[in-house]
Amino acid sequence: MSFSDGTRSVHAGLPAPEVGRPFLPGPVFAAPYHLDPVTGPGEHGYARTEQPTREALEVAIGELEGGPALAFASGQAAITAFLLSVVKAGDKVALPADGYFPVRAFARGALADLGVESVLVPTAGPYPDLSGLRLVLLETPANPGLDVADIRALADAAHAAGALLAVDNTAATPLGQNPLALGADVVVASGTKALTGHSDLLLGYVAARDPELLAKVENWRKLTGGVPGAFDCWLAHRSIATMDLRLARQSQNAAAIAELLVGRSDVTGVRWPGLADDPSYEIAREQMRRIPGIVAFDLGSAERVARFLEAAELVFAATSFGGVHTTADRRAQFGDDTPPGFVRFSCGIEDTADLVADVTRALDASK
């Protein structure tokens, strides 16, 4: 039987019911396990290579993404492990020019040192001829600018050129879109953000349907040891159950905040792919089941952003996004190539009317 997103989130990766046991068993904290003195390890021998709490989380993520998943200690650990396990000296890769900036820094440093050439392409295009590329990486919606790429069209173009297509699904989450179903070869994501949504853990993952490709990534993880801890895995699995509810309120709040902002003459550059006049609206409507709770806008100066955040009662100044509390940050201070007054605003799950009223008051006070 086919279930909806909310039901799938609640039941993802749960073990079969067992009398006297909890719905989601507590984390296993062991690093080494008892071995059979004759045959050696059984199902679990050492936590860096196999770990039951992590495996349960991977099943849950895999069910939602539509392909087997591997968990990592952070989103950056996941994406760098994927890159280093599939590219080699002489390869050329296309990376988002407007995506998560540490990926570009990694390309300029470690990948370049290994002899891997990278080209930067805006998420909204135009895209160059993909011939000769080993990999095309998309981040859609892009963080922090929120442009959206056509995954299906780019998957077709990449495959025609003999390249892999990978999609960073952090902002959308698997309840917002399923890149593997749209033709992507690989999904990478940070689970630190909306997937888990409580701002209390670091996590990343890689998902793919090709077992040979995923085996390369898993072998890299085994040899480099970038695994998440048992408690983080358990917290993440617990949090996934409420993802559908959290995302619904966050998207509702983002719609209300975006409408508020576009109606103000003292705010410019409002971006949210759910707005009918947003440049990414048509593509987002076609390939996404829901729009994330992130809104981008410009207040004109760093000083006004500071005044806005100081005046707001419900908006915390914090980096990262996707949590249950509304947060905002001025991306230029973290190295993003954005104007000094650019704000990435991440809607939490507060009451919509309260949040709109607080943002309105803070904007008025920040003038």
307-353 pLDDT, tens digit per residue, is 999 999 999 999 999 999 999 999 888 877 899 999 999 999 999 99
Return the pLDDT at 87.
Answer: 97
For the record, the structure tokens of 2 come out as 């086919």
The number of beta carbons lying within 10 Å of the beta carbon of residue 269 is 16
**Tens of each residue's pLDDT in the chain, 367 residues:** 889 999 999 999 999 999 999 999 999 999 989 888 888 778 898 999 999 999 999 999 999 999 999 999 999 999 999 999 999 999 999 999 999 999 999 999 999 999 999 999 999 999 999 999 999 999 999 999 999 999 999 999 999 999 999 999 999 999 999 999 999 999 999 999 999 999 999 999 999 999 999 999 999 999 999 999 999 999 999 999 999 999 999 999 999 999 999 999 999 999 999 999 999 999 999 999 999 999 999 999 999 999 999 999 999 999 999 999 999 999 888 877 899 999 999 999 999 999 999 999 999 999 9
Kindly write down the DSSP assignment for every residue of 200-249, as one continuous string: ----EEEEES-HHHHHHHHHHHHHH--PPPHHHHHHHHHHHTTHHHHHHH
Residue 177: predicted pLDDT: 98
Domains 5-240 and 243-366 share a fold: no
Return the axis-axis angle of helices 52-65 and 230-240, rounded to nearest 10°: 30
CATH for 5-240, options being 3.40.50.720, 3.30.9.100, 3.30.930.10, 3.40.640.10: 3.40.640.10
Question: Would you say 213 and 185 are in contact if contact means Cβ atoms under 8 Å apart?
Answer: yes
Grouping H, G, I as helix, E, B as strand and the rest as coil, residue 18 is coil
Give the Cα separation of 186 and 67 in Å (integer): 9
125 dihedral zone (left: phi>0; alpha: psi -120 to 50; beta)? left
What's the predicted TM-score (pTM) here? 0.96
Report the pLDDT value the prediction gives residue 335, as an integer from 0 to 100.
74
- Segments of 112-153 assigned E as strands: 117-121, 135-139
Residue 197 in tokens: 């949504």
* Domain ranges (residues) in the chain: 5-240, 243-366
Q: Which tokens hold the place of 108?
A: 């300029």
Torsion of the alpha carbons at 59, 148, 326 and 366, rounded to the nearest 10: 170
List, edge to edge, every strand of the sheet that includes 342-346: 268-271, 294-298, 342-346, 327-330, 316-317
Q: What angle do CA 302, 200, 48 make, to 5 degrees?
A: 120
Distance CA 61, CA 53 (A): 13
Q: What is the pLDDT of residues 250-272, one digit of tens each?
A: 999 999 999 999 999 999 999 99
CATH of domain 243-366: 3.90.1150.10
* Cβ partners under 8 Å of residue 234, min gap 6: 24, 26, 27, 53, 57
